Structure 1
């Protein structure tokens, strides 16, 4: 056993008499693993002795380093100090305290102390449960609103860009109730969106023709077949699903990409562009080369010169003037595809005679592949008298009056049924009367039964009863009393967690009948919803995308001079890989630990080349075995995660290590102190120092060292991955990569595979972090100290099922934190600092 260090150097601090006394006896106390090896032998007196020995030198009443004093903590009364001690547990589990250079307990002592504290805290919670308080008013975020209107109206539209953005609370998730305002601006946007989507759903034409533009990101490669929606033998282009509100005539226009001079690219040779509706060829265009309309001087034998009026007009706009058609389309969603016919080019490698005439100065842009910039759909410009039978109309109009006398009854049936689904509860007579009044007003203004229904639906989708999930405490509830959510509230909470949408008919019927109170029925519904495609999609697109920072990919401005292989196509491939990978584990109800060590991933040809995976061709993503699991395997080696934790021109062990601690290990470091100097850069003419050497200089500051001793080894282990996740042996400056790291507790990493193996040896730690993140998302509030006993119980039970996704999800939805709430007074006291920004630095330095 390694002896505890006896030298304690600390400059610039004046210690109190208490601290001096503690230091004088610290070396005479043996490690606790010598005194009490068995967990059941450890007690409050032992814990107090350890705190006296290792913690009170800084965390006493006189110094209260980082705002924390442990001097008055009574370890025989754990419940009185639960908030502080839960943070101490996190520091113990991460071996983050005492700071570097200070005496530390031996390795086993950390485990014994953490387990004892956890057991005592769990017992204290059981004796006095605190499930927290459900936020009584919880507005839908954009993603939830979008899903809900599509489910309710039978549409397939994306209205998220039409709504104000949703802030994230503490950088976590955008569904945290306390961070979702409900302002006048929100109400105005909701009303505008409601008007548009209800006219679309009911088949009413827009108040004026609408032009929708779908753009391709500027730097996306269009050299290959873009998606599975594209025809075989095609390249580039775009495929979109557009909702046509009514039967009628619409225009479809294609715009091509230009260079910095606004010249259309690729006009030096003839290229063929197909336009299709639902796979049916509408028009085939030939653009460039000797296509009709091409000015004669563009051929090599011509006499004209680039810069002439004809040439300029052609290059700027005339080449695309004819890329527009008018087509009759029936109501409902239809796919529109514009793609080029792929033309194989084989280089002859035979010298060619010099051609006469001139080519434009920017000949590379002139002779390159053409690219589609956007596709524009406008209309309707004429519409049939019939509204058509779109899926949304079939869903909404469960009846249709044949004569005027039938309208009132039919309207009441439709609006009551739609409102019940929208409001997620039974409809009262007052609700019905109000909705019928709106129907009558719309009927009068619009002159038709359909217009009346549209107006009533517009009101429903702007009603706070639709936009807000509200939870009501029972009347005469005693202060601090715990109560169960009713079945309808539980149905909404379950549905918005697993589907990010309102309850479907089956769940709503069970809730109305009071059957969700039956635990067997409740668990069956949770399983059904998790197995449903909507459950997988929502947890991947909303939860995982935020937990794994996929939404930040577009914000990362990679230096493409240093990394020319990075473009929009590769960025989107990164995102798709991680989404499909997480989705696969969810669909198969696999162990969440598979996220760390899977020997497969999902790639298309572009990403396979980037990763060195052979025999993958085409744009379609498919599951592929990894050829070398010492260099790939699990989310640690995903390009998306490695890119969002890098700087534009170099990797960052600090960003990567911090990200791992926060998102996978559950022990985020405190924010850096103010005025921390940036890493030193090389002077002109000097050989740049490696990132390891520069961080070593940074760690010479003891204030920085206490955190970097934990952060840096994790980041160094990933240094074999460059800025965009490619494997490398040398860094950006040409220095050999050194992926070795020494983690507190005598743990050594020799690179990526060692780090992954170390995490695999501690599956409960990763499972605890994932459960904590998922519970935050499920509850729509920040996880607090009093939630930790619940999380530990979920993780322990999940371990018996090999940490399967379903065991964690079922544990969360069956927990007191999800199904119940506490009266406001006591919770207000427990959460008095709930709205303050919390930092671990200010509360824990053991």
Structure 2
């Protein structure tokens, strides 16, 4: 948006911002947009918003206090996303307050647009802080698989990793050490080496550099350990590090171990080394400007992003040749890695944790007497559907808007039976095109519908909350205390009331109305699906109402029309996807300094017709992915 267009948008508003915007200026700058905030919007915010949204009150977990002082927080697009959502939908100011005048409302929305343009045009200058972190349980198991060739998964026995930042288990802030975890790592190393030594082909692969049993003991040990250290440490070992491991090997020999057992001790020591268990990058004390990470560090960032595992020989070779900072090479490697089956781990960990469909195995337990179709075979089919669908979109250059709405999915015989799709036989998942508009995208999938339901009934609240949080990054605040509970079983509601009517009585309470006005319509639109995702036209014999009315007045009825409402919010969905993907790639929560990168990722995705490959390559080539401070 040019400043001239910005001025025209604000013509007739009460803010007077138009007079500040010369028509000749090609685009807004961060400084000019900040000036506009001071002169135009801050008075509106002070008069209408600060009473409830300063640091002391912070209603809805939103504080606008930082806007009173110049600085980066004035341009926090996530904060302004919350403001825009509330102002545009009319939920703020609340119903018991005087609404914003039309000019004031338009001024706020237009300032937010200009702010985003200014941020997108500004250079990325701070890659954010990259912390040392340990391997999480998935990375540990996958790395041992690729290092040693074992099929077991020692990490599955470890305590669950926490989720931080953008909601992922690879976040450095949550990957701490404990005594219990060190015991698990010791047990994991013992079990992994024992599995290798029990299989001659695996042991032979590990010892492949040693071509003769007539070599001096330490010479043979060095031949096997040096290449293994390169792979285990994800960089060439220093001579001091090699000598340290040889010293452990020699000590084992001196204790009376034979060469073979002494090598087992040395390999275990490597697997327990902080240099293996920790992902650590070179620091440059005293250097103030950000620097490019070295090529081996790029290799690790790439492999743990797309494979949830250690770099392979091809990546390490490119690192040795100093080629992993070339944008063309990065693009080619990204395509190669996405095509590799190891990238299934990317779908599992990124999509599964973002969309919460991994909870299908640990948090979903429908009442089997009421939902007789549900069993573990169907549970697995539900998981396979959403996994295969997300994998097709993310790894095979699909169109990411298909996650909101699509005319196809993937089913096998048990799932096709639940969905009333004829002609499907066998356990294999295959792509099918819908012949009606009942289903489409994530919100029509059994896995998502079951994860957002209760054991004995649907939950419009949980389903609406899931859409707001996972697809639109517009989570409602936590519920206030003592708001009452709804029946656990919709069959227990007395009289002629439907469950929806009972819920509407609950949400009519003033303390509940604000949040439910945003959540419930989205959940109501999915009421044609029961608690396991089967289509229904009534609720326990009572008429089913699947209509919804959004706070901005948009009305719809049923899943198909609800998906059209979601497609109108595709910009919010794109921001959600890009922010989650960038946070996952960087192993941390996003910061204000990441916003230029975030907004350019959004633009890249839109210009690529919403195809995923360009977005993933853009993340890999981005400033914070390739730099540190």
Q: How does the TM-score come out when normalised to structure 2?
A: 0.87
The answer to whether the 8 A contact 1:47-1:113 is kept is: yes
The answer to whether the 8 A contact 1:593-1:803 is kept is: yes
* Closer, same or farther: CA 108–180 of 1 in aligned 2, 3 Å: farther
2:611 aligns with one of 804, 808, 827: 804
Cα displacement (A) at 1:403: 3.8
After superposition, residues 456-475 of structure 1 pair within 5 angstroms as 456-475=266-285
Give me the whole-angstrom Cα distance separating, in 2, the residues matched to 1:534 and 1:685.
49
* Closer, same or farther: CA 170–494 of 1 in aligned 2, 3 Å: closer
Whose radius of gyration is greater, 1 or 2?
Answer: 1
Which residue is equivalent to 1:567? 375
Which residue is equivalent to 1:382? none
Deviations along 1:471-493, one digit per CA (max 9) or x if unpaired, are: 23313223xx4333222222211
- Return 645-654 or 182-191, whichever deviates more: 182-191
Cα displacement (A) at 1:176: 0.9
Two-structure CA RMSD over aligned residues (Å): 3.2
Deviations along 1:554-604, one digit per CA (max 9) or x if unpaired, are: 222211111121111111110011111111223431111122222221111
Pairing 1:419–2:202 present? no
SS at match of 1:590: coil
* Closer, same or farther: CA 607–446 of 1 in aligned 2, 3 Å: farther
Give me the whole-angstrom Cα distance separating, in 2, the residues matched to 1:739 and 1:31.
39
The answer to whether the 8 A contact 1:515-1:521 is kept is: yes
Which residue is equivalent to 1:747? 554
Give me the whole-angstrom Cα distance separating, in 1, the residues matched to 2:420 and 2:62.
50
Structure 1 unmatched ranges of 5 or more: 1-28, 204-244, 247-387, 823-846
Which residue is equivalent to 1:93? 85
Deviations along 1:765-796, one digit per CA (max 9) or x if unpaired, are: 21211111112211111123433332121101
SS at match of 2:527: coil
* Closer, same or farther: CA 30–707 of 1 in aligned 2, 3 Å: farther
After superposition, residues 148-227 of structure 1 pair within 5 angstroms as 148-169=143-164, 172-201=167-196, 203=197
Give me the whole-angstrom Cα distance separating, in 2, the residues matched to 1:115 and 1:446.
78
SS at match of 1:491: helix
* Closer, same or farther: CA 769–64 of 1 in aligned 2, 3 Å: closer
Which residue is equivalent to 1:512? 320
Cα displacement (A) at 1:804: 1.3
Cα displacement (A) at 1:644: 0.6
Which residue is equivalent to 1:20? none
Deviations along 1:677-723, one digit per CA (max 9) or x if unpaired, are: 11368998932632322222222222211111111111111111100
SS at match of 2:424: coil
SS at match of 2:628: strand
* Closer, same or farther: CA 477–426 of 1 in aligned 2, 3 Å: same
Give me the whole-angstrom Cα distance separating, in 2, the residues matched to 1:607 and 1:473.
52
The answer to whether the 8 A contact 1:578-1:640 is kept is: yes
Deviations along 1:113-170, one digit per CA (max 9) or x if unpaired, are: 3453253366368668553533331111010011101101122222223323212227
Give me the whole-angstrom Cα distance separating, in 2, the residues matched to 1:87 and 1:434.
51
Which residue is equivalent to 1:839? none
- Return 618-627 or 102-111, whichever deviates more: 102-111
* Closer, same or farther: CA 32–594 of 1 in aligned 2, 3 Å: farther
Give me the whole-angstrom Cα distance separating, in 2, the residues matched to 1:58 and 1:775.
32
The answer to whether the 8 A contact 2:132-2:280 is kept is: yes
2:265 aligns with one of 455, 458, 465: 455
1:664 aligns with one of 461, 467, 471: 471
After superposition, residues 276-675 of structure 1 pair within 5 angstroms as 388=200, 390=201, 392-443=202-253, 447-478=257-288, 481-535=289-343, 537-554=344-361, 555-628=363-436, 630-675=437-482
The answer to whether the 8 A contact 1:491-1:508 is kept is: yes
The answer to whether the 8 A contact 1:79-1:121 is kept is: no
Give me the whole-angstrom Cα distance separating, in 1, the residues matched to 2:466 and 2:456.
18
The structure with the greater share of residues assigned to strand is 1
The structure with the greater share of residues assigned to helix is 2
Give me the whole-angstrom Cα distance separating, in 1, the residues matched to 2:469 and 2:507.
21
Deviations along 1:71-112, one digit per CA (max 9) or x if unpaired, are: 78459x4645334x6413333136353334544458997676
Give me the whole-angstrom Cα distance separating, in 2, the residues matched to 1:515 and 1:418.
22
The answer to whether the 8 A contact 2:334-2:617 is kept is: yes
* Closer, same or farther: CA 711–729 of 1 in aligned 2, 3 Å: same
Deviations along 1:739-760, one digit per CA (max 9) or x if unpaired, are: 1111122211212111211222
SS at match of 2:324: helix
Pairing 1:714–2:522 present? yes
1:793 aligns with one of 591, 594, 600: 600
